[in-house]
Chains A and B, each alone.
Chain A
Amino acid sequence: MLSDFPLWPDQASTVAPSVDALMTFMCVVTGTVSVLIFIVIFYLAIKYRRTPENELAQDYEPPKALEAAWIIIPFLVFMFMFVWGSWLYFRIQRVPDNALDIYATGKQWMWKFQHPGGQREINTLHVPVGRPIRITMASEDVIHSLYFPAFRVKADVLPNRYKEMWFQATKTGRYHIFCAEYCGTLHSGMTGWVEVMEPTDYQKWLAGGAEGSLASQGEKLFQKYACNTCHTNDATGRGPVLLGLYGTNVMLNNDTTVVADENYIRESILNPQAKIVKGFTGIMPTFQGQVSEDDLLKLVAYVHSLGTQKTAVVPVETPSSFKTSAGSPLNPGAGSSPQTKGKKP
C-alpha cells in the first residue's frame, strides 16, 4: 500500500539528482526560516499577550540595524539560489554533442515519436539507458508541453516551430510522459510511457519494425515532391544546392546571413519567400498544406543527412537574375554550430 503512495519521484536521469539537490536545499533553507519565524511569532504573541498589566504596549523600538540585516541577508541568500538555479538551467538546456536524435510531434491528444531509423511510436518512447537523447519536436495544432517527471525535464511544444530538449536516462524502467500545457478536451489523456532499456535491448527493439531510416524516407519524398528537379547536386539547378548545406551560414538576398538548421529548412519548405538565398529569385512554390508534419520531419532529416557530404561549391556573386543558373551563394566554412535554438521573440 505504501508503495502506492510515493512522496518523491523516481530519479532516472543525469540531471535529476542535481534538481533534487537544489530542491532539498530550498526546502531546508526556506523550511528552517519559516519555522523560525513561526516560532518567534508564537513566542512573542504569548509572552506579550494582552493582560490587565499589559494593556498598552511598551514604548520601545528594536534597533534599526535589524532592518538592514533582514534586507541584506535574504538578498544574499536569494542571489545564491539564483546562481544555482541558473547554473542548473544551463545544464538542462544545453544539448550535449553525441546525442541520439528523436523527433516528436504533439497533436491533440497524442504524442508521436520517430526514431532516426524510421521506427515510429505513439505515446510510448523506447530509449537506451546511458546515452544523451535529443528530442526535436513541434506541434501540429496547439501548444503542448512534453514532460518527463522522472528525468526532471519539460519543454513547451509549439506549432510551426521546432524546439529541442534532451535527457540522459540513468536507470532502466518505465516512467511517465505527461502533456503539461493545457491543450483541450483530452489534455489529461495525452500521457504515455518512456521505456528505458539496456542498449542491447534497445537495438533489438529497433530491429523489429523499421521502415527505413527517416532520412531515406525523406529522400523518397524529395523525389515524390519533385524537389530534385530544382535542387540538383551541382550549380546548374534553379534552386540552391542542398549538398553540404546543413549547418552552414547562408547569405540571403538582403545581405543578412542565417544558419541552415532544422527551422530554416522547414521554413523554406513551407514559406520559401521568407528567406531567399542570394543570387536566386523567389520562384520556389510553397508546400504549405501539401506536406504533413511527419513528412516535414523526414525531409528535414534527409537534408540534414546531406550536410555531412563534401561540398564543392564556389561562392560567386551573381546579379539577381533567374535566367542564368551560374553561381551558388553558399558560403562554406563559417563552421558555426548546428545547434538549433529556434527561439524567436
Chain B
Amino acid sequence: MSSVTLNDVRFVEPEGARNYITHDYGALSWLLTKDHKRIAILYLFSITALFMLGGFFAVVMRIELLTPEGDLLTSDTYNKFFTLHGIVMIFFFLIPSIPAVLGNFLLPLMLGAKDLAFPKINLLSWYLYIIAAVMGLYIIITGGVDTGWTFYTPFSTQYSNTHVFGVTFAAFIVGFSSILTGLNFLVTIHRMRAPGLTWFRLPLFVWAMYATSIVQLLATPVLAITLVMLMFERVVHVGIFDPALGGDPLLFQHMFWFYSHPAVYIMILPAMGVASEVVAAFTRKKIFGYSFVAYSSLAIAFLGFLVWAHHMFVAGISVYSAMIFSFLSYFVAVPSAIKVFNWTATLYRGSVALMTPMLYILGFIGLFTIGGVTGLFLAAIGLDVHVTDTYFVVAHFHYIMVGGAVMAYMAGLHYWWPKITGRMYPEWWARLAALLIFSGFNLTFFPQFILGYLGMPRRYHAYAPEFQVLNVMSTAGASVLAVGYALPLIYFIWSLWYGRPAGPNPWGAVGLEWTTSSPPPMENFHETPVVTWDAYDYPAMLKAMGETQNV
C-alpha cells in the first residue's frame, strides 16, 4: 500500500457546482442557517459594522484630543465615548473576531469535518451576539454609559447616572455567545477530527483555537456572575461593593480582572494561530518548533488565569500580593516570546513570499513584540507605579490589540478570502493598505508611550498643554489609520464582483481547507478524508501535488 498523498483526496467540485453561497437563496436561508460557513459570514457582517462603530468613537476622541482644552465635546460625552469605544471594541469586535469569523469558517474544514459539533448552538451564539448588539445600540442612542469599560465600583453602582444596568446586561448576553462558541470548538476538536488526524498533526491555528476556547469557556462565566452582582447592586443598593455599607470595591476589581485578563488572551491567541498559518504558507515550511508553539498556546491559556491582579498594583493590594503577580506576569511572557522566535526562525531557508497576508503578519510580529515587551515594563512593579493608569498602558494594549490582533485578523481575512469567496482581492491595493495601516498605527500609538511616561493619565478629556505636540502626532496617525482601514472595506466588496476567480489553492499551501473548492460546498467533504501526513508537510505534499502555483 503506497502512502496516501494529497492527490488522492482532492475534494474539488466540478465547474459550476453549487457551493455554500449558492446552495440556496433568500434571507431566511441565511438567517436560519446551521452551516458554519454561513454563520461565519453573518458574523463577518456584524463585527465589521461594530468595528466601524467603535472606530467612530475613537476618531471623534482623537479629534477632541488635538487641543488641550475639552472644546469639541462636553466632559460627559467624552467619558461616554471612551467607555463605548472600549465596550464595543472589546466585547463586540475583538473577542468574537477571529474565532467567530475565521474559526467558525475554517475549523471544520481543517479537521475534515462536515460542520461543528453543535450547529444550532452556533447559530444561537450569533443571535445572542445580535441581541446584545441591538441592546447596546439602543443604549448608545438613549444616552450611553460613562463608567469606562471596566465598570469600577462604587462609581458604576452609586454615582453614574447612565445606563449601567442595560450595558452590563448586554455584556452578560454577549458573554454567553462567547462561551457557547468556545464550547462548540472544544467539542469539535476533541470529537470530530478526521481519522488519522492526531493532535500533533493539527494545524497550529487549531491549537490556538483550542487554547482560546478553554479560556472563553472558563473565564467568561466569572464575568457573568460579576456583572450579575453589579446589576443587583445597581438596583438594590445592598452594598456588595459599596464600602459605606460594608462592601469592598476591591472585590469587584478582583472578580472583574479574573475574567478580563484571560480575555486579552482570548483576543491574542487566535491571532497567533493565524500568524502560524500564514508564516507556514508563505515560507512553504513547517513552523520551527511546532510542538513548542502548540504547547505555548496551552501555557498562555493556563498562565493567563494567574496574573489578573497586575491590573491592581496601585489599587490597594498588599506588597506581597503585588510581588507574586509580578513574578507570574513575567512567567506568562515566556511562551509568547517562544512563538515570536519560532516564527522568525521559520523564515530561515524558507521560500518567503511577501504577499499581503505575509506583510500583515510580519507587521504583526513586529508590533506584537513591541506591545509585549512594554508589558514587561508594566510587570516591573516599581515602574508600574509611575506608568499605570497613564497613556503608557493605553499604548501597550493598543500595540497588542490593534498592532497585534487586528493586523492578524486582516492577515487572515486576506489569506482565506479566496477560500471564503472564491475571489482574489487586488494585491497592490492590499499592500498599500497594509503599509498605511502599519505606518498610521505606529504614528498613532508610539507617541502615547512617551505621553504616558510624561505622566498624562488615561481617560482625560482635557490635558496639560505640554502634551499637545504628541497628541497631535497621535491624531495625525489615526487619520492615516482610518484611510488604511477604509481601503480593504472597499476592495473586498469590489472583489466579490470583479476579483480574479481563485482556484482551490491559490497560495500553494498545505492544509485540508485548501483541498476543497473555493468556495467550498455546503457539506465541505463528500467523503471524510483519512489523514496520513504531518502538519505543514510541504516537501512531500507539494511534490505529490505536482503543483507549484506561481504567486
A binding-site residues for B, Cβ under 8 Å: 4-9, 18-19, 22-23, 26, 30, 33-34, 37-38, 40-41, 44-45, 48-50, 54-62, 64, 66-67, 70-71, 74-75, 78-79, 81-82, 84-93, 108, 141-143, 145, 147, 149-150, 152-156, 158-161, 163, 176, 178-189, 191, 288, 341-345
B285 at the A interface (CB under 8 A): yes
Interface centre among B333, B338, B340, B382 (most CB of A within 10 A): B382
Bound together, the chains give a CA A159 to CA B470 distance in angstroms of 34
| Chain B residues, CB < 8 A from A66 | 341, 345
Establish whether residues B386 and A343, one from each chain, have CB atoms under 8 Å apart when the complex forms: no
Which residues of A have CB within 8 Å of B465?
4
Instruction: Chain A residues near B384: list those with CB within 8 A.
Output: 85, 89
A-contacting 9-mer, from B34-42, B122-130, B456-464: B456-464
A48-B347, A86-B382 are known; give 7 further A-B pairs, CB within 8 A: A45-B347, A45-B354, A70-B341, A81-B376, A82-B326, A147-B389, A180-B458
**Proximity bits, B73-109, A CB within 8 Å = 1, else 0:** 0011001000000000000000000000000000000
Interchain CA distance A91-B382 in the complex, whole Å: 8
**Distance from A225 Cβ to chain B, minimum over Cβ atoms (Å):** 20
Q: In the complex, what's the smallest C-beta–C-beta distance from B428 to chain A, in angstroms?
A: 17
B388 and A57 form a contact (CB under 8 A): no
Of B284, B313, B380, B464, chain A has the most CB atoms within 10 Å of the CB of: B380
Interchain CB contact under 8 A, B353 and A44: no
Taken together as a complex, chains A and B put the C-alpha atoms of A92 and B383 apart, in Å, by 10
CB neighbours (8 Å) of B457 from chain A are: 147, 178-180, 188
Are A62 and B362 also in contact (CB < 8 A) when A56-B542, A153-B385, A182-B155 are? no
B454 touches A61 (CB 8 A): no
Residues on A with C-beta less than 8 A from B283 are 48, 57
Taking a contact as CB atoms under 8 Å apart, the answer to whether A58 and B349 are in contact is: yes
Bound Cα distance A57, B285 (Å): 6
Contact between B459 and A187, CB atoms less than 8 A apart? yes
Asked whether A182 and B548 contact (CB < 8 A) given A86-B382, A187-B459, the answer is no
B159 neighbours in A (Cβ, 8 Å)? 108, 141-142, 184
Q: Closest CB-CB distance, B466 to chain A, in whole Å?
A: 6
Chain A contacts of B251 at CB under 8 A?
A: 345
Contact A181 B462 (CB under 8 A): no
Asked whether A74 and B334 contact (CB < 8 A) given A26-B380, A57-B349, A82-B380, the answer is yes
Chain A residues near B381 (CB-CB < 8 A)? 85-86, 88-89
CB-defined contacts of B75 to chain A, threshold 8 Å: 185-189
Interface residue from A71, A82, A182 paired with B327 (Cβ < 8 Å): A82
Name which residue of chain B comes closest to A18, CB basis.
B382
Min CB distance, B73 to chain A, in Å?
Answer: 12
Expressed in whole angstroms, the minimum distance between the Cβ of A106 and any Cβ of chain B is 12
In the complex, chain A residues whose CB is within 8 Å of the CB of B351: 48-50, 54-57
Q: Nearest Cβ in chain B — how far from A316, in angstroms? A: 33
A154 touching B285, Cβ below 8 Å: no
Complex Cα distance A182/B240, Å? 21
How many Å lie between the Cα of A141 and that of B158 in the bound state?
Answer: 9
Closest 3 CB pairs of A and B: A88-B382, A149-B455, A85-B380
| Shortest distance between the CB of B371 and any CB in chain A (Å) | 10
Which of B11-19, B181-189, B314-322, B493-501 makes up part of the contact surface? B314-322
Q: Tell me the complex Cα distance, A105–B67, Å.
A: 30
Instruction: Return B226 CB to nearest CB of chain A, in Å.
Output: 16
Q: Is B379 close to A, CB under 8 A?
A: yes
Known: A4-B469, A41-B344, A71-B338. A82 touches B314 (CB 8 A): no
Given A7-B454, A85-B381, also A57-B350 (CB < 8 A): yes
What CA separation (Å) do A50 and B469 show in the bound complex? 43
Tell me if B426 is interfacial: C-beta within 8 Å of chain A: no
Are B334 and A78 closer than 8 Å at their CB atoms? yes
Q: How many B residues touch the partner, as a band?
A: 35 or more
What chain A residues lie within 8 Å of B249 (beta carbons)? 143, 158-159
Q: Is the CB of B334 within 8 A of A44?
A: no
Task: Specify the chain A residue showing the minimal Cβ separation from B447.
Answer: A7
Contact partner of A38 among B146, B331, B366, B450, CB < 8 A? B366
- Does residue B479 face the partner (Cβ distance < 8 Å to A)? no
Given contacts A56-B538, A78-B333, A180-B390, contact A185 B79 (CB under 8 A): yes
Residue of A nearest to B327 (CB): A82
From B366, B379, B389, B453, contact of A41 by CB (8 A): B366
Bound CA span A85–B223, Å? 30
Contacts of A62 in B (CB 8 A): 288, 345, 348
- The answer for the CA separation of A182 and B146 in the assembled complex, in Å, is 10
- Cross-chain contact B350 with A145 (CB below 8 angstroms): no
For residue B148, which residue of chain A has the nearest CB? A182
Please indicate the chain A residues that have their CB under 8 angstroms from the CB of B523 in the complex: none
Identify which of B289, B318, B349, B388 gathers the most chain A CB atoms within 10 Å of its CB: B349
A-B contact pairs, 22 of them (CB 8 A): A5-B470, A30-B374, A34-B373, A44-B352, A45-B352, A45-B354, A48-B347, A48-B350, A50-B284, A70-B337, A71-B334, A81-B376, A89-B319, A89-B384, A147-B455, A149-B386, A176-B464, A183-B155, A184-B159, A185-B79, A187-B79, A187-B459
Contact between chains at A142 and B154 (CB < 8 Å): yes
CB–CB B373/A88 < 8 A:
no
In the docked arrangement, what's the CA distance between A55 and B380, Å? 46
- Chain A residue numbers with a CB within 8 Å of B551 are 50
Flag whether B491 is at the interface (Cβ < 8 A).
Answer: no
Asked whether, in the complex, the Cβ of B373 is within 8 Å of the Cβ of A30, the reply is: yes
Give the residues in chain B near A81, CB-CB below 8 Å: 330, 376, 379-380
- Whether B376 contacts A26 by the Cβ 8 Å rule is yes
B161 → chain A closest CB, angstroms: 9
Mask: chain B, 143-167; 1 = CB below 8 Å from A; 0 = not: 0001110001011001110000000
Q: Please report the C-alpha to C-alpha distance between residue A51 and residue B159 in the assembled complex, in whole angstroms.
A: 64
Q: B140: CB under 8 A from chain A?
A: no
Given the known inter-chain contacts A58-B349, A89-B381, A188-B462, please indicate yes or no for A176 contacting B326, CB distance below 8 A: no
Contacts of A33 in B (CB 8 A): 373
Indicate if B369 sits at the interface (CB-CB under 8 A): yes
